[in-house]
Chain A
Amino acid sequence: MAVPPTVFVIDDDPSALSSVCALLTAFGMTVKPFDSAEDFLADYNELQPGCLLLDVQLQGIGGLDLLRQLRRNQLDLSVIVISGNADKQVVRTATELGVTEVLHKPVQPHDLVDVVQRALG
């Protein structure tokens, strides 16, 4: 059987990370949580299908930096960005970097599930 697509979730707020994972798992998705971009990069396998759910306000390598890095490596991974504050500059940059979707907190859980499911195709 084909490997199920995985949702990679990166959020440095443990409660946010945990709640998102709980939500997506409840909807039957395979979730892999990371609390930093560095961990994700260390663990990430290019062949693994899935999508990335990214909090742009990360300690260490910021969310936008991670995006740039991924794009530089020509990785075709659909990315959903969650932004804490509706900073237009961030949204613009994220869009330029070709993210699938930009979500603003507070995000309706169902919207989140929909967006992720869409991204997974």
Chain B
Amino acid sequence: MNDRSTPTRPLQSQVDSTIQYPLRILLPLSLMVMVLAHTGWSLFSNRSQIVNSTNREAVIVLRRTMSQLAGSLERAARRNELSTMQYSLASLGADPEVKFAVLIDEENDVIVSMRRADVGHRFAESVSQPYRESPILDAGALARVRMSQISSTLPFGDGHTIVGIHPVVLGAKTDRIRPDHLGLFVVLRDIRPTIQRATTAVSRQAVGTLVMSCLIAIGLGLFFHFRIAKRLERLEEMTRMVGAGNLTVRTGISGGDEVAALARSLDRMVVDRDIAEQTLGLQAMILAHVHDAVISTDLNGNVETWNSAATRLFGYSVEEAIGRSVDFLYFPDNVVAWKEQVMLPRAERSADDLQMRLRRKDASAVLVSLRLSLMNADDGRPIGIIGCCNDITEQKEIEAKLSESEKLVREKLSELEHLYRTTPIGLCMMDTELRYRRINDELARINGLPVEAHLGRPLREVLPDIADSIEPLYREVIETGQAKRSIEVERPPVDGHGQSSFFLASYHPLKDDTGRVRGVSTVVKDVSERRRAEERLRNNETQLAHVSRLSTMGEMVAGIAHEINQPLYAIANYAAACEHLSRRREPGWEEKVQSVMGQIAEQAVRAGEIIKRVRGFVANTESDYCPIDLNELIRDTTKLLSFEAKRLGATVSLELDAALPPVMGDAIQIQQVLVNLIRNAFEAMDGQVNGKNNVQIRSATLDGDASVSVKDSGPGISSDMVDQLKEPFYTTKEHGLGMGLAISQTIVAAHEGHLEIRSDADGAGAEFCIRFPALHEIC
């Protein structure tokens, strides 16, 4: 397609296919960040919790330990067992977290200490830095404990040191009211290592979690990369290719997940779009190739589609037409009509084709047939108008010509009709039920009835006398569909008097489009006159032949007389002999007489036969056709001419084909031909030396025909004389009419035979050959 019906929409701007924020990296990264943050936060919050709980625990443990120890210290103090007290405190030293443990008296002097070196020193001196300056351990704090006699366990303030102060009664119970005898048991415990241990464990756990999380994140990233991102990339690439118009591409993604489902639906969409595109392409192609100009507009009349036929018809290219108001196709005077017509399809009334003049680009007018129809959206809302139009200028011309030629045809038809009606040849049309459908004046005249008496009536009713003979002909034509031509039909005189009529009829089948015979057209020619003329001619010919025979006979009469004389002469001699014998009556005369009488009878018969032969030859009979054995006729004829042969000193030799077929004809006339030919042969040799004169008569079967040739041994005939020979009145003889050969030829032709002369003036003689069709071939 070189042009599109609609201007091609600009392709979507090239999509930037680079991914700035690849999910396969971002997702794991953010996961890792989250894990990191979580780990950091949990480390932080756990630590203070650990510190607090450890502190609380440490305080409780210290308090319990100190109250136990205080009890044992009090018991030891009552028994004044200082060493036991020392031992009790020294046991505390096993705990590295216990920084110092002392028992001080009311003077704040150290009585017993975990470290033996501190005994006897002032409490303040024995406290090691950095605890020495702490207000918890100053004299005031100690005094408050002494006064309240309630032990206190306090955190030092650095977060990991606890100080426990527990009052211990050093004197007797009765002196309990004397605070002087109240000592203080002070323990300082630094729980940093415990805290350290706890936080370390927590940290290790957090790091482990972090590492696991990272591994998971990496795994996730890889999963995203291969299972999602890669496939999405493929989908993205495919959508780009589809967008670029390649509709053969497929995702090639399989699986049971959402991406695969997406891929499948995308594939399906592409296939659908491919089909839709093909359909669209086909439609566009159809549109481009239709001969009609197809124009579509929106509801405002702005051209949206313009096919190439429209370009051809109006001269505007697609680019020139698209987007313009369709009014440019109209002459100002019929714009209104157009608008009205546009409204018609809107009212959902189908408009018939309009015929109107539209304007071409070159401002010329073109007569078009215009069909408008409304385009509807799927919801039935009208969205535009389609107009199809084609140039009907030519069609109008053709219509005009057609009506003219119709007129001509009508004229011709009426001429033919006239001819059919008035032609002096009988014509009729017969349907397959053998009823007259049509008949002309001549055939009606021949049938002896008016035209009206034929139409619609069956043949048998119209022509009862000859229906038996012609109905089979009609039926054969109807059955075979083959014409039958030149059939001779004889119609006996209607009233039984007068002469028969003869007709030459042809029957032609009339076939419909499927080749079925729907009737028979008949042509009938009255040939009665011709037949009668032929009959007259034949009679004349018969007469002429007879005259000719008489003439021949006249020429032969001397010879015939001699021929008859021979038996008569013999009879006379025999009779005289008999007479003499019977008179003399010598012994044995009766037998002799009887023998001679037999001879007489024989000779009389012979004479009779000669006369019969002659009379037969000159008889003036009606032509009588019957089967003839040519061989017999030849033998008979040679007998008739035997005297001629003898007189002219010629011999006759016969060579007869025993299998010669019989022929149909008039025996006398054919004998006449033979007589003519044989006598001609004799005469051709007249004057030659005796002994060489031979006439050879030969019968033969040639291509199924029976032929007889008569060949003489005379000088022959020159070829230029051969043609003259057949002319009537041409003769080389002094006597004779010169009709012999001409009549022979007429007779042969009347028997559907041929006469042929083969000769050359070369001394090899002339050969006359006659041929007749064999009888079995005729029948």
Give the complex CA separation of A55 and B572 in angstroms: 17
Knowing A22-B596, A26-B581, A57-B646, say if A62 contacts B690 (CB, 8 Å): yes
Number of B residues, CB within 8 Å of A: 31
Q: A98 on the interface (CB 8 Å rule)?
A: no
CA distance A107 to B577 in the complex (A): 14
Contact B599 A19, beta carbon cutoff 8 Å: yes
* Other-chain residue from B566, B576, B606, B690 in contact with A110 (beta carbon distance below 8 A): B576
Given the complex of chains A and B, what is the CA–CA distance between A25 and B575 in angstroms? Answer: 13
Number of A interface residues in the complex (CB < 8 A): 26
Evaluate whether A26 and B580 lie within 8 angstroms (CB atoms) in the complex, with A15-B603, A105-B565 already known: yes
Contacts of A20 in B (CB 8 A): 573
Q: Which residues of B contact A12 (CB under 8 A)?
A: 646
Q: Is B567 an interface residue (CB 8 A)?
A: yes
Is A4 interfacial (CB-CB < 8 Å)? Answer: no
Which B residues from 433 to 451 make CB contacts under 8 A with A? none
Query: Which residue of A is nearest B581, CB measured?
Result: A26
**Cβ of A13: which chain B residues have Cβ within 8 Å of it?**
566, 570
B587-630 to A contact mask, C-beta < 8 Å, 1/0: 00000100010010011001000000000000000000000000
B577 & A26 in contact (Cβ 8 Å cutoff): yes
A97 close to B (CB within 8 Å): no
The docked-state distance in angstroms from the alpha carbon of A84 to that of B745 is 35
A115 within 8 A of B: no
B647 at the interface (CB under 8 A from A): yes
A residues less than 8 Å from B575 (CB atoms)? 109
With A23-B577, A59-B649 known as contacts, the answer to whether A15 contacts B690 (CB < 8 A) is no
Known pairs A26-B580, A59-B646, A59-B649; A106 contacts B599 (CB<8 A): no
In the complex, the answer to whether A16 meets B558 with C-beta atoms within 8 Å is no
Query: Once the chains are docked, how many angstroms separate the CA of A27 from the CA of B570?
Result: 16
Q: Is the CB of A22 within 8 A of B573?
A: yes
Cα(A106)–Cα(B574), bound, Å: 13
B316: min CB distance to chain A, Å: 117
Given contacts A26-B580, A85-B558, A109-B577, is CB(A19)–CB(B603) below 8 Å? yes
B547-570: contact bitstring with A at CB < 8 Å (1 yes, 0 no)?
Answer: 000000000001000100111111
A112 CB-CB contact with B under 8 Å: yes
Partner of A23 from the list B567, B573, B584, B647 (CB cut-off 8 Å) is B573
Q: Is A106 a contact partner of B562 (Cβ separation < 8 A)?
A: no
B569 touching A107, Cβ below 8 Å: yes
Q: B571 contacts which chain A residues (CB < 8 A)?
A: 19
Identify which of A59, A84, A108 gathers the most chain B CB atoms within 10 Å of its CB.
A84
Residues of A near B568 (CB, < 8 A) are: 106
Given contacts A26-B580, A60-B691, contact A108 B572 (CB under 8 A): yes
A15 and B567 within 8 A (CB): yes
B569 close to A19 (CB less than 8 A): yes
In the complex, chain A residues whose CB is within 8 Å of the CB of B581: 26
Distance between Cα atoms of A112 and B574 in the complex (Å) = 12
Q: Which residue of the partner chain A has the closest CB to B558?
A: A85
Whole-angstrom distance between the Cβ of B379 and the nearest chain A Cβ? 130
- The answer to whether B565 touches A23, judged by C-beta atoms less than 8 angstroms apart, is no
Closest residue to A106 on the B side, CB-wise? B569
Given A59-B649, A85-B558, A85-B562, do A23 and B574 touch, yes or no (CB 8 Å)?
yes
* A90 CB-CB contact with B under 8 Å: no
Bound-complex Cα distance A112 to B575 (A): 13
Q: Is the CB of B574 within 8 A of A22?
A: yes
Q: In the bound complex, what is the Cα–Cα distance between A27 and B577 (angstroms)?
A: 7
Chain B's closest residue to A20 (CB) is: B573
Closest Cβ of chain A to B577, distance in Å, is 4
The CA-CA distance from A20 to B566 in the complex, in Å, is 12
CA distance A85 to B643 in the complex (A): 12
Q: Is A113 part of the contact surface with B, judged by Cβ < 8 Å?
A: yes
Query: Which residue of B565, B577, B580 has the most chain A CB atoms within 10 A of its CB atom?
Result: B577
Instruction: Tell me, yes or no, whether A69 is within 8 Å of chain B by CB.
Output: no
Measured in the bound complex, the distance between the Cα atoms of B646 and A85 in whole Å is: 13
Residues of chain A lying within 8 A (CB to CB) of residue B584? 26
Bound CA–CA A18/B577 (angstroms) = 11
Give the Cβ gap from A19 to chain B, nearest Cβ, in Å. Answer: 4
Contact flag A25-B577 (CB < 8 Å), given A19-B603, A84-B562 = yes
Rounded to whole angstroms, the CA-CA distance of A109 and B569 in the bound complex is: 9
- Residues from chain A with a CB closer than 8 A to the CB of B574 are 19, 22-23
* Min C-beta distance of A23 to chain B, whole Å: 4
Pick the residue among B558, B576, B599, B647 that contacts A57 (CB under 8 A): B647
* Nearest chain A CB to B563 CB, angstrom units: 10
**B599 touching A27 by the CB < 8 A rule?**
no
Question: Is there an interface contact between B565 and A84, defined as CB atoms closer than 8 Å?
Answer: yes
Nearest residue, chain A, Cβ from B650: A59
Instruction: Map CB proximity to A onto B238-264 as digits: 1 under 8 Å, 0 otherwise.
Output: 000000000000000000000000000
Most chain-A Cβ atoms within 10 A of its Cβ — which of B565, B566, B602, B651? B566
Residue contact B570 to A16, C-beta cutoff 8 Å: yes
Taking the closest CB of chain A, its distance from the CB of B566, in whole angstroms, is 5
Chain B residue numbers with a CB within 8 Å of A18 are 570, 599
Contact with B along A7-32 (1 / 0, CB 8 A): 00000110110111011011100000
Those 3 A-B pairs whose CB atoms lie nearest each other, nearest first: A109-B576, A19-B573, A19-B570
Interchain residue pairs with CB less than 8 A apart (20): A15-B570, A15-B599, A16-B570, A18-B599, A19-B573, A19-B574, A22-B577, A22-B596, A23-B573, A23-B576, A26-B576, A26-B577, A26-B592, A27-B577, A27-B580, A57-B647, A84-B562, A105-B565, A106-B569, A113-B576
Residues of B in contact with A (beta carbons under 8 Å apart) = 558, 562, 565-578, 580-581, 584, 592, 596, 599, 602-603, 606, 646-647, 649, 651, 690-691
Supplied contacts A19-B573, A23-B577, A85-B558, 4 more A-B pairs, CB within 8 Å: A57-B647, A59-B649, A84-B562, A106-B572
